[in-house]
Amino acid sequence: MAEKKKKSEPEYIFVEFNTPRKYRWSTGPYVGKMYHEARMNKKLYANQCPKCKKMLWEPQVVCGRCKVETGWKWKELPQRGTVMQYTFIVYPMWDPHYGEKFANPLPNAMIEMDDGTVIRHFLEETDEKKLKEGMRVEAVWKENEEDRGEGTADIKFFRTIDK
């Protein structure tokens, strides 16, 4: 009897290459205003629902609660706020813009701005003993205009301030 030939396992060839994913998209007039003001003036803007009067962050065409068009009533958000809650992101996450993993050493926080609008951003303070809910913070912006143009990412982090 002839011996059966063993099927050889397939040979896998791995090719690694890095191609930048350059793309452009339109932010539209609402988010576009937010990006423009952040880049040019180091200011955050939100729009307000005409029915419930809630400030919408990030700016939106339609209020998610009332289902009405928001119109063009804009308000500059304050630069200071109060930390409502915070957490450290320990596990590396995927960056949707670049497709790479990252683990940010800065705590992620929900911050209630002085006008009541809530935004999520990073805190400069990394010492767990100094971090606490209720601490006052203010925005620290990227200095160079060339480095800005990413909306809320133009804010490097929020720094602790005295009450």
Q: What's the domain range around 54?
A: 28-160
Total domains present in the chain: 1
Tell me whether residue 116 is in a domain: yes
Tell me whether residue 85 is in a domain: yes
Tell me whether residue 15 is in a domain: no
Q: What angle do CA 111, 80, 137 make, to 5 degrees?
A: 65
Name every residue whose Cβ is closer than 8 Å to that of residue 54 and which is 6 or more positions away in sequence: 48, 63, 65
Overall pTM > 0.85: no
Residue 1 pLDDT? 52
Tell me whether residue 22 is in a domain: no
Question: In this structure, how many other beta carbons lie within 10 angstroms of the beta carbon of residue 63?
Answer: 19
Q: Cα separation of 21 and 97, whole Å?
A: 8
Two tokens at 1?
């009897």
Write out pLDDT tens, residues 129-139.
999 999 999 99
Write out pLDDT tens, residues 37-72.
999 999 999 999 999 998 888 899 999 999 999 988
Tell me whether residue 59 is in a domain: yes
8 Å CB contact between 151 and 57: no
Residue 111 pLDDT? 97
Tell me whether residue 3 is in a domain: no
Residues of the chain with pLDDT under 50: none
Tell me whether residue 7 is in a domain: no
Tell me whether residue 135 is in a domain: yes
Question: Taking Cα atoms as reference points, which of 135, 141, 140, 142 lies closest to residue 160?
Answer: 135
